[in-house]
Amino acid sequence: MAYVTSNYREVYAALRRLDPEAAKQLQKEMRTVANRVVIQAKGNASWSVKIPPSIRASSTAKGAAVRVQSSNRLAVLNELGKTWRHPLFGNHDWFYPQNARPFVKPAVDAQRAGIAQQAGEAIRRAIRSAGF
């Protein structure tokens, strides 16, 4: 998930040039916005032991992001909504289908209105603190 305003990159670059402290504060606030989604995504993935600790919020010059940093390919398959097959208890004669359980996209969808409002407020506060 990445929330990107139509010109966030340009706004952030201008803030960095004019008031680096305001840009730094904007980064922190955007990471806080993404943390709302991270908390819900971790709850959505609570059936797993490995996935919730690998869900993190970040903020870049492009906007806020929620990242799943996992070497576990099943985490990726779950998020993509793919179905896969696996042997049950190591019995390779019989493979069973496993349905995906997405966790980030439902969290983003549930928080979409709040994310947009909080991100907009953070951008406005940063622009005001830079003197505009």
Query: According to the 3-state scheme, what is the secondary structure of 65-102?
Result: EEEECCCCHHHHHHHHCCCEEEEECCEEEEEEEECCCC
The pLDDT of 86-101, averaged and rounded, is 85
Report domain extents, the chain. 2-69+102-129
pLDDT for 57 = 92
Per-residue pLDDT reduced to its tens digit, 38-91:
999 999 988 888 888 889 998 888 888 888 887 777 777 777 777 878 888 888
pLDDT for 1 = 42
pTM (2 decimals)?
Answer: 0.76
DSSP states of 7-74: THHHHHHHHHHH-HHHHHHHHHHHHHHHHHHHHHHHHHTTT-SSTGGGEEEEEETTEEEEEE--S-HH
